[in-house]
């Protein structure tokens, strides 16, 4: 097994896991930021910070299920879209969504960004692994003919 194939196999499970954990954290901390309506989108549209976090989490759950069931290029592209949209929208959130863990308090936005970046890196590895596999299979089939 090559290194790329190993990352591809790890990516098959790491991408949905990162997306699911990120979505779970977003759903968990959303009630803290529901009253803040400070997220401005294009054309002067203002939405609740909680609504935006729920929408991002829903996109991540859909992409995670898709990659877990069938890790093909369309699912990987959906992962790039979901994680990219999440990274773009999370930078617009102004109020912290805090997670209390014993004596420390962590901003959930930081954890979500780290998990989304993990999903993007492993999705890229999965895409490269799939591309290398298809290319090798094509080269092998041409040699046989």
pTM: predicted TM-score of the whole model, two decimal places: 0.80
pLDDT band at 38 (very low <50, low <70, confident <90, very high): low
Across 39-63, average pLDDT? 83
Nearest CA to 131 out of 64, 71, 84 is that of 71
85 vs 41, which has greater pLDDT? 85
User: Does the pLDDT at position 4 exceed 70?
Assistant: no
Which H or E run includes 22?
A: helix 3-29
> Which ranges constitute the DSSP H helices of 44-107?
49-69, 73-90
Cα separation values, 53 from 14, 39, 84, 136, Å: 21, 11, 14, 41
> Which tokens sit at 38?
């400070």
Alpha helices in 70-107 (DSSP H): 73-90
Answer whether 46's CB lies under 8 Å from 40's CB: yes
Ranges of each domain in the chain: 3-144
Q: According to the model, what pLDDT value does residue 131 have?
A: 76
């Amino acid at each position: 097994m090559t290194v790329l194939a190993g990352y591809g196999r790890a990516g098959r499970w790491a991408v949905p896991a990162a997306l699911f954990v990120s979505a779970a954290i977003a759903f968990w901390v959303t009630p803290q930021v529901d009253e803040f309506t400070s997220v401005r989108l294009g054309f002067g549209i203002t939405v609740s910070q909680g609504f935006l976090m729920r929408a991002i989490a829903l996109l991540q759950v859909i992409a995670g299920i898709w990659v877990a069931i069938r890790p093909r290029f369309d699912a990987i592209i959906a992962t790039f879209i979901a994680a990219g949209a999440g990274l773009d929208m999370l930078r617009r959130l102004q109020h912290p969504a805090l997670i209390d863990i014993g004596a420390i308090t962590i901003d959930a936005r930081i954890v979500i960004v780290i998990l989304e970046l993990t999903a993007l890196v492993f999705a890229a590895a999965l895409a490269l692994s799939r591309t290398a596999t298809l290319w090798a299979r094509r080269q092998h089939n041409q040699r046989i003919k």
